[in-house]
Amino acid sequence: MSMLGMSISDISINTLSGQPTSLGGLGAKVMLVVNVASKCGLTPQYTGLEALHEKYAGQGFSVVGVPCNQFMGQEPGSPDEIATFCSTTYGVTFPLLEKIDVNGDNRHPIYQQLTDVADAEGVNGDIRWNFEKFLVNGSGEILGRFSPMITPEDPALVAAIESHLK
């Protein structure tokens, strides 16, 4: 199935619970798409991601977590285990999608488009690590890419989110 010319917001993906959806189907005006993992040194970023989600949800913003086990096996859990960990450990209320590959031959079509975009340092291509972040609008336009080391509280990330919610 060719994804050429297909908006990233229309590409089919399942929720963590297995329901078909798409980024556009999540209904947000602006989304922060993040490849997440439960057993990573950056996992505490869930706290800041949830805070962003709560702060801006009323303005049409959503964090979207995309579990991935491609970085040293740091997301080994089943969908139920991932959901339980995220809700009980970090109080996550933002949508979580199915566990996918973000790099390599089985890279999900959403990430085929996301990885074409460069971040502020000019880095594009493969996802470098867990918690790489992409700002995407509801129409599927990719608005920005942020390194895994950019925390959810980073002023540049917050400013980018706020500028697209106006």
| Contact predicate 66/22, CB 8 Å | no
Catalytic residue among 40, 83, 117, 142: 40
CA dihedral (4, 144, 98, 102) positive or negative:
positive
Does the active-site annotation cover 40? yes
Parallel/antiparallel/unpaired status of strands 133-137 and 142-146: antiparallel
Catalytic positions are: 40
